[in-house]
Every structure is written in structure tokens, then in C-alpha cells.
Amino acid sequence: MNEQVLVSKVWNYAHVLRDEGVSYGDYLGQISFLLFLKMDKERAGALGEPSAIPVDCNWDSLRALSGAALDAHYKEVLAKLSKRDDIVGTLFLKAESKIGDPARLQRLIQLIDAETWMGLDVDVKGTIYEGLLERNAGEVKSGAGQYFTPRPLIDAIVEVMDPEPNESIHDPACGTGGFLLSAYEHMRAKPAANDKRTARRLKEEMLSGKDIVSEVVRLCAMNLYLHGIGGAHSPVQQGDALIADDGGRYDLVLTNPPFGKRQSFRIVNAEGAIETERQDYVREDFTVTTGNKQLNFLQHIMTITTSSAAVVLPDNVLFEGGAGEALRRKLLKDFDFHTLLRLPTGIFYSQGVKANVLFFDRAPPGDRVNTEALWVYDLRTNQRFTLRERPLKRADLDDFVQCYGAKHKRHERTESERFRCFAYEELAKRDKLNLDIFWLKDASATDPDSLPPPEEVAVEIVASLELALEKFRNVAAKLGAGEPAE
């Protein structure tokens, strides 16, 4: 069963629940609980791996029942497993039954039971979740609203970061665990992982993550558990990583924070009307106070990494003034911001998203500027990818990986058509320290047939309008405070 067939089967199971009135989000949760219990049974049986699920809550206990007895037992299973404080408790976080008809529940169990799932050489939970998000984005006008990192990009980032088995890896916006799983596979292939103690620590202590969305935290925990990762305590937690500095420090931070510039929440006022309030994170370790989520994630990563970081961020982080400029100056001064990968459009679920990967190392404190030069690799200009017709493949990143080179031999890098070096002195002269750097000639500028799709143009227009509105808000805020507008 390949990935496409896998997603199609799981998507088709939704028909069993549609008449039940189960929403898309609830369906995803219910299917995940049941799929996990089935895969845990297969993992324990075929692979001989120990199961953390008690006998009275396992897959066979569900298969043996029907009618009201099945309905009652399923609710008991979810309630019991959700109360645990280990990784099982995380993967059944806030679990409750949304299936009111025992007959439909039994039919769903029968459909899942008829398949073998653990023989698949794929990131099962991530593949299912992301595949369903793509299907939902196509069938629901509002779309999925989330951008997941393509696995080829994740694998290329992990390859150039080259983590060792004794290094701690953290993802503060872990999603379904793509970065953590790729890092684990890379680290366990290292000779040092042959040591039993090192291998145990790698499984139980060296990987961690956090995500604000309960559903994806559950899926991440399931993915890690089914890959044998986790110990007495769950490696992933549900929560807002930006709320506070919890003291956690990690050798490597690998992450793709959620896109969308603003962090906000809704409140109901005394008259019953709903108002939207912007949430600014005020932390002593933050250089600037802002409602921009990407800038806040960048500040958070600056705090928690002790060695290196690779983070996927949208273009606005490279050119925005104000808070953005202040953080770029800090990044160049206090860290060695050595590599920038300009990503192509068409690789995320939302059309027109322009993003980059920022690679930087923590440097010794002091007054000197620690970034001597920034190497920029342009994988965007004259590159066209789509999720279906021409998806990004790992081979598309081979040249970048080769240009990046070994992490201890960056001094041996050489320039190429798509790979250029920019000295700090040159960067410092750019207006507002704008790091949105490109030099290749865009064929679409002269060839009408090479113009981006209309939806990409629309996204760019919206982004420009949002930036203009933000500037107007800043001016209004300064005038309201009696300050001169710049």
C-alpha cells in the first residue's frame, strides 16, 4: 500500500461517519485513536515490541464487542488512556468519543481491522494527517489553514545539520513530528548509536517537541510511539511555546513555525459582541515586543538553542522594518547566521507562500559581530513546483546539500549560479538590513508564459496590503502616544 492508497482508504472511511454528523476535525481524531490501537497490536505482534496499552484497552478488546457494550467500552478506553502521564496519555490527549451510533463504530473498527498498517515504510500518522488536510483543502473552500513541511525538505535540512546521537533535538512547533522523526532516523544510523546506552538515551531523552494544537500533538505522539521513541515521560507536549521561557535548552532546534503573521484571540464583551485582541508576548528574553508570530518564534529559538538552529520562516522576516530589522541585527551580531535557503513556491498547501530556511549557530557573547558572511542559495527563481503535478523531491535539493557541505568545512564553500556569498559589510549597507536577496534573472519578467499562477499573484498582493496596513497602525499608535511618526 503506497501513500496515495493509504490516504484514500482513510479518507473513504469518513463516509461511515458522515451521516453521523461527525465533523472533519472530529473524524480525524476518531480515526487516529482507532488506527493507533490497531497499529499498536500489529507492532506488538509482528515486531515483538512491547505494548504500553493495557489488555483491557487494546484493539482486541474493541473487536470483541458490539452494540451498547462497544459504545460504553470505547468511551471507557478513551477516558482511561487520556488520564495517563506518559506518551500514551499524550497521544490520547483530551480524547472522547464523537461517534453516537455503535453500529457505525463497529463498522469503522471492521474496516480498519481488515488492513495491515505497520508494514508501510512511511511516516504513517504524518502521511495520513497531511493527506487528509490536502483532501479537505480541496473539498472545503476555507482550506486546511495549516502549512506542513514537505518531507524532502525536512530530510535535506536534517542531512546538512547532521545531528549526532548525543545531541538534543527540539521542535517548538512540532506538528506531526516530521523533523523529530527524520532527525531520529539520521542519528540512529550513526556508529555512536550502536552503543546500547546511547541508543536508549536517543529514544527516551534526546528528542522533544511542543505544539499548540491538541490534535497534532496526539498525532505526533502516535508517530513517535510507533517508531519506538519515548520513555516514562512524553517527548511532546501540548502548549504555546511562546508564552514563557520554561528553561529548556537544546543543542539543535529544527522547526517550521505556523505561518500567519498575527497571534490573536477572541473575547466576548459585556454586550455579547465578539472582539479580536492582538496578543503580544512580553518576555524578558525577547529583544522586541510584537504580535508577529514568526518574529516571536525566532526570538524564542534564539533563547533555547545552545548550538545550532534551522528554521523555516516566510519572506517578511527578511525585510520588515521595526521589530524585524532589530531582530535581524541581533541575529547577525549575536549568532553566526551563515546560510539562507530561498524556497520555491508551490511546495506548501497554500498557494504563493514564500518562505526560507535560516541556518544559524550560537556564538560566544561579546561586542563583535559574529556573522562574517551570509551564504544565500536561491532555489526559488525560475523554479516551479506544485503539490500534485510536480511535487518537490529530495533530488531537487541535492545541489543545495552539496553546496552547503560538511558543517565543519563551511570555509571551503565555493560560489555557483545559485549559491552566493555576501560579506557582513555588504549586508550592513542594505536599507533596513533587508536580507531578501536575489540576483538571478526571473524569466517571468520577460516571458508572459512564465508568469506565476493568479492565486500566487493574489497572495503577494494581500501580503503587500497587510504590510502597508501594519505600517499605518504603527504610525497611528505613535501619533496616539504623542510620539513623532517616522
> pLDDT digits over 23-32, tens only?
666 777 788 8
Q: Is 216 exposed, middle or buried (0-12, 13-18, 19+ CB in 10 A)?
A: buried
Average pLDDT over residues 57-71: 95
Confidence band for 269, pLDDT divided at 50, 70 and 90: very low
Predicted pLDDT at 133: 56
Entry pTM: 0.81
Residue with cell 478488546: 61
Complete DSSP assignment for 298-358: HHHHHHHEEEEEEEEEETHHHH--THHHHHHHHHHHHEEEEEEEEPPSSSSSSTT--EEEE
**Predicted confidence band at 316 (pLDDT cuts at 50, 70, 90)?**
very high
Span 389-434, pLDDT tens digits:
888 999 999 999 999 998 888 889 999 999 999 999 999 999 999 9
The x, y and z cell numbers of residue 96, run together, are 472522547
- 236 phi and psi, to 5 degrees? -125, 145
**Average pLDDT of every residue of the chain:** 84
Q: Which of 75-89, 125-139, 300-314, 340-354 has the highest mean pLDDT?
A: 300-314
The single-letter code of the amino acid at 161 is M
Q: For residue 85, which phi and psi values (nearest 5 degrees)?
A: -105, 10
Mean of pLDDT values over 286-295: 91
pLDDT band for 264, please (50, 70, 90 cuts). very low
Helices in 140-283 by DSSP H: which ranges?
151-161, 178-188, 196-204, 214-226
